[in-house]
Amino acid sequence: MTLYSYKDKILSKKKQAVSGMILRDRLFWRHPLTRDKICIMKIVTTHKGTDFDALASLVAATLIYPDARPVIPGDVNENLKPFLAIHKDVFELATPNDVNLDQVDTLIVVDTHSWGRLDPRLAVLREKPDLEVIVWDHHVHGDIQVTQPHIKETGACITLILDEIQRKRILITPIQATLFLIGLYEDTGNLTFPSTLGEDAHAAGFLLDRKADLVIMASFLKQAYARQHRDILYDMIRKSETIKQSGFTVGFSKLDLEGRVQNLAMVVQMYREIINADAAFCIFRDLVQDKCMVIGRSGVDEIDISLIMRSLGGGGHPGAGSALIKAANPEVIQEMIVELISGNQQTSVMLSDIMSYPVVKVHEDTTVQEVIMIIRELGCTGMPVVNDQDDLVGIVSRRDLKKVRQSKQKSAPIKAFMTRNVVTISHERSAVEVARLMIKHDIGRVPVVKEGKMIGIVTRSDVMMYFYDMLPD
């Protein structure tokens, strides 16, 4: 038995006496001499404004590098504070002041690899010529010179490290698993953000197997709303203006805001819900740094936030996004957004783009037998029925034809079996609206009408092709 592991055992025994629960959770292996500044050689750290993914990655990295000391930046995310208040001791986190940086020969950085995002007290390491730098990051860009990069664009950084932990068959405790899952869920929006990969979901499965506690997770993920957010939200609503643009209500709010505020996007989402607008944009101006942060949220697919934000130099998803604009006037930004929304209208997908035409239809006097044959031949699941004037009088589906039992019914006209109250949609409506109709009425095809005449038909598969972005060019 080496001296270290013996001391470690004594240490554990002491802890066991203090708290049986913590020991059952088997704390991190800890170098007994790391308390002494002189012996520290490896440190692991993460970005300022530390969020759950960053903390999870920091803690997880100490499992891969047991001799590295976790150093947490002085500035952590607001919603991490209640968690740290309870778990700080369990994770044995050090601050940059606890470490003699002259002694550090290996720097492990997780969830970032930019010097500007590290605690400024660690900047002295930048000058060390033979510093070994190991990086675990899911952001592609960074300016830290890396000797050992582990960089891949996963939904959360913790996913990358968990992959290594699983590969090395390192055991993790339920407390660790819970922290890792909070980080994973926060960075992937509960696995819903488009950046989420299969690997992220696999990692979530692994953590649940390792007894990650979902109740604890939910209680910490909810606490993002702080007093500061309430004040900003109040200000936003007070300064809100709503305009009508292309048939949609769009809310705008322009605020002066200095410094960085966490989770502003959440406040913008609440703002949109409260003012009950189809879309909402908040423009936060930082007068000191002369820049504007624009955050947008949309609840209608005609207003595509990612398109608008990309035009402003930012990015996002159809429902949510942001852009950072230097030296701009909020009034001008608002005008640009209004213009982009009216432009969006013309480029958004119309029903006529996704519908099928010409429409295969049958006359109301066609016999049931013939209709069955046509449907079988075309491999479709139903079709519209018209009269002599080519007016839509009904629709027939395989479901209707199942009602035909006796063979003599097969010579009857189809109008006896068709569904008469046909749900139709105007050609000016959107794909989302036709999808809503299909769900509401449980129907698989909706004729598209223009000036009373049927010009096409939209089927479930047309809608699916649209939503999965598989429309042919």
Positions that interact with Mn ion (CB under 5 A): 53, 111, 157, 187
The DSSP-derived string for 114-156 is -GGGS-GGGGGGGG-TT-EEEEEES-S---S--SEEEE---SS
> Residue 393 and residue 468: Cα distance in Å, rounded?
32
Q: How far is the CB of 204 from Mn ion (least distance, A)?
A: 15
- Spell out the residues 6+ positions from residue 1 whose beta carbon is closer than 8 angstroms to its own: none
**Whose CB is nearest to Mn ion?**
53
Find the shortest distance in angstroms from Cβ 112 to Mn ion: 8
Tokens coding 143: 């300016």
Identify which of residues 65 and 193 has a Cβ nearer to Mn ion in the complex: 193
In a 10 Å sphere around its CB, with 0-12 CB exposed, 13-18 middle and 19+ buried, how is residue 81 labelled?
exposed
Q: How far is the CB of 187 from Mn ion (least distance, A)?
A: 5
Least distance to Mn ion from the beta carbon of 307, Å?
Answer: 26
With 0-12 / 13-18 / 19 or more C-beta atoms within 10 angstroms meaning exposed / middle / buried, residue 362 is buried
Half-sphere exposure of 52 (CA within 13 A, CB side): 28
Distance from C-alpha of 205 to C-alpha of 245, rounded to nearest angstrom: 45
Question: CB of 53: closest distance to Mn ion in angstroms?
Answer: 4
Shortest distance (Å) from residue 156 CB to Mn ion = 6
| Phi and psi torsions of 284, nearest 5° | -105, 120
Cβ atoms of 15 and 22 closer than 8 Å: yes
Asked if 187 contacts 53 with a C-beta cutoff of 8 angstroms, the reply is yes
Shortest spacing between CB 298 and Mn ion, in angstroms: 25
Spell out the residues 6+ positions from residue 410 whose beta carbon is closer than 8 angstroms to its own: 367, 368, 369, 372, 404
Beta carbons within 8 Å of 286's beta carbon, 6+ residues apart: 256, 257, 258, 259, 292, 293
Write down the least CB distance from residue 266 to Mn ion, Å: 17
CB of 157 to Mn ion, least distance (A): 4
Of 158 and 295, nearer to Mn ion (C-beta) is 158
Rank residues 112 and 344 by Cβ distance to Mn ion and give the closer one.
Answer: 112
∠ at Cα 142 (139, 146), nearest 5°?
A: 105
Residue written as token pair 């997780």 = 110
Q: Looking at beta carbons only, is 157 or 404 nearer to Mn ion?
A: 157
Comparing CB distances to Mn ion, the nearer of 157 and 172 is 157
- The candidate with the shortest Cα–Cα distance to 298, out of 245, 227, 228, 239, is 245
Distance in Å, CB of 318 to Mn ion, minimum: 22
Instruction: Name which of 187 and 302 has its Cβ closer to Mn ion.
Output: 187
The minimum distance between CB 258 and Mn ion, in angstroms, equals: 25
Say whether the peptide bond before residue 96 is cis (omega within 30 degrees of 0).
no
Tokens 């159809």 sit on residue: 318
Amino acid symbol at 141: H
